[in-house]
Structure 1
Amino acid sequence: MLDAPARRLIDPTLNRMGAAIARFGVSANTVTMLGLGLGLLAALLIVIGWPQLSLLPLLASRLADGLDGAIARATQKTDFGGYLDIAADFLFYGAIPLAFVLNDPAANGAAGAFLLASFYFNGTSFLGYAILAEKRGMKTSAQGVKSLYYSNGILEGTETIGFFILLCLFSGSFPLMAWVFGTLCFLGGALRIYAASRIFRD
């Protein structure tokens, strides 16, 4: 729900930064992979028991995730770049909950599995919607210029990053927060499927 207003707030700054980085010849795909590496480093720090320290690479990875699109807009957008970006995002989003499970399987295992299942379902509903929207020529720029159709939802990237920050700050409450957030993810995916049944019905 917060992605569209957040984009309006941060896009002008990201676009200026992206244009400046592009002048040094740094490609959008390079920044995408850098962001993924930082995100996986954050996950590793969580696994070894340093969740608060993991906030530094975690937030840096999300900055890189915003900058890769800005660099692409300043140079040249490619289909592969958009594909790589979404694949890296999904790997990052899965790695953080998995890290909490690996850190303490006994306490976090069930809640972490539930959360990952909800991400899987929500992500599938999102990508499936994008495919149907592309097939019908639907366009939206509510969340910035993207390589694929971004349908809105209850929980989007902004809420998920906020959730990860809370997990890192209050790691002892992971099970409770994971059950609540996962339930909302399942609800969001179900609502997206309901919306698709109305919009894409032949």
Structure 2
Amino acid sequence: MLDARVRPLIDPPLNWLGRALARRGWTADRVTLAGLALGLIAALVVALGAPEWALIPLLASRLMDGLDGAVARATSKTDFGGYLDIWCDFVFYGAVPFGFAILDPDNAIAAAFLLLAFYVNGASFLGLAIMAEKRGLATTAQGQKSLYYSAGLLEGTETIVFFVLLCLFPAHFAALAWVFGALCLLTAVARVANARHQLT
């Protein structure tokens, strides 16, 4: 919901940093993998009992996730780069809730529900992206992407804010996870309804 509004604000500095990294020999894939590594470190720090400290690698991971596209635009975009980016995003999205489940077994049911909601929402997102490619549909509402990004109630910006809240208020993980998971399912239902409208 917020990605389209945030993009005009963050794209100029990201593009500047992306060009600077490209000049120093960084590739987009290297930035993507660095972002994933930082995200997994964040999940590990959560699991080891220091969710507040996990904020540092978590936010650095999301910065790298924004920078990989900027580096690609400064050099060359590839289909594999787009594929690697979305795969790493989903690994990260799964790792953080798993870290909270390890941190406190009482979080396990809420974490499982959240992961289910991510799975359902991710399927609605990627399935529409596949069909949109088949039909030649395109959108730049969320910026220049390697695949069709369907808008939704919850997008990348909201998910980052949610993960930050989890790290700041780990004692409230379960409540936050149930609410965010429910909103993810609502987003998925809306995407399926939108897909029916677009594809029939």
Fold shared, TM-score > 0.5 on shorter chain = yes
Which digits, 9 at most, give the CA deviation of each residue in 1:36-73, with x for residues without a partner? 00000000000010000000000000000000000000
Please tell me the residue identity of whatever aligns with 1:122: N
**Count of residue pairs brought into register by the alignment:** 200
Cα deviation for residue 25 of structure 1 reads 1.0
Structure 2 unmatched ranges of 5 or more:
none
TM-score (norm 1): 0.98
Structure 1 segments, 4+ long, off by >6 Å, are none
CA deviation vs aligned residue, 1:131-161 (integer Å, no higher than 9, x gap):
1111111111111111000000010000000
Residue identity in the other structure for 1:81? G
Name the aligned partner's letter for residue 71 of structure 1: V
Aligned match of 1:136: 135
Q: Distance in 2 between matches of 1:145 and 1:195?
A: 21
Shift in Å, 1:8 = 1.0
Aligned to 2:41: 41
Q: Which residue does 2:152 correspond to in 1? A: 153
Give, in whole Å, the separation in 2 of the partners of 1:148 and 1:56: 29
Q: Report the Cα distance in structure 2 between the residues aligned to 1:196 and 1:31, rounded to whole angstroms.
A: 32
- Work out the CA distance in 2 between the residues paired with 1:132 and 1:32: 25
SS state at 2:166 partner? helix
**Structure 2 SS opposite 1:189:** helix
1:178 counterpart residue number: 177
Distance in 2, matches of 1:8 and 1:110, equals 38
Aligned counterparts of 2:199 and 2:74: Cα–Cα separation in 1: 34
| TM-score, reference length from structure 2 | 0.99
Report what 2:168 is aligned to.
169
Cα displacement (A) at 1:198? 1.2
Note the 1:107-118 alignment, pairs <5 A.
107-118=106-117
1:96 aligns with 2:122: no
State the Cα distance separating 1:103 from its structure 2 match.
0.9
SS at match of 1:139: coil
Match of 1:122 in 2: 121
Cα-Cα RMSD: 0.5
